[in-house]
Structure 1
Amino acid sequence: MWKLFPVNSVYWWNGKLENSKEIVSIVKTKKVNWEKVKSAVIKLHPYETPCIIKIDVKMNDDYESWINKEVK
């Protein structure tokens, strides 16, 4: 499962305040896929330092069953 959201980011980079349009991506997968997803983002992302965050979550039983069935 993959969602994309446009955002306007303001951040310091190399001593300068930057303002740029970016895309936030939320990827829902199993814990076992974390390293594969992280490696793929690093390989494909144009930034020198992409923000890649893993969030462990609790979910309802029906959704967990569905994710386990659908995600390889």
Structure 2
Amino acid sequence: MLLQQIAMTVAEGGEHEPAPLWAEPWVFGVVMFALLLVLMFITWSYSNLGNRHTITEEHADPHRQHPNKHDHGQGH
């Protein structure tokens, strides 16, 4: 059905009015920029989570359900 409407519009010359906007076009750009800026600051606020604690070595526990297989046999 939609393809038929598109085909008929193209066959008629494709002249139609664009849909009316509820705000000026620049408003959409400003709102989108502000939204992305807020999301960027939220992301940036989590950038120091890795620096809160000192780094400690993970001990190899052979009794774990899913042991770390990247210790190259050092925990045995």
Q: Which has the higher strand share?
A: 1
Note whether the superposition's TM-score is higher than 0.5: no
Query: Computing the radius of gyration over CA atoms, which structure comes out larger, 1 or 2?
Result: 2
TM-score w.r.t. the length of structure 1 is: 0.22
Q: Which structure is richer in relative contact order (CA contacts within 8 A, separation 6 or more)? A: 1
Q: Which has the higher helix share?
A: 2
TM-score w.r.t. the length of structure 2 is: 0.22
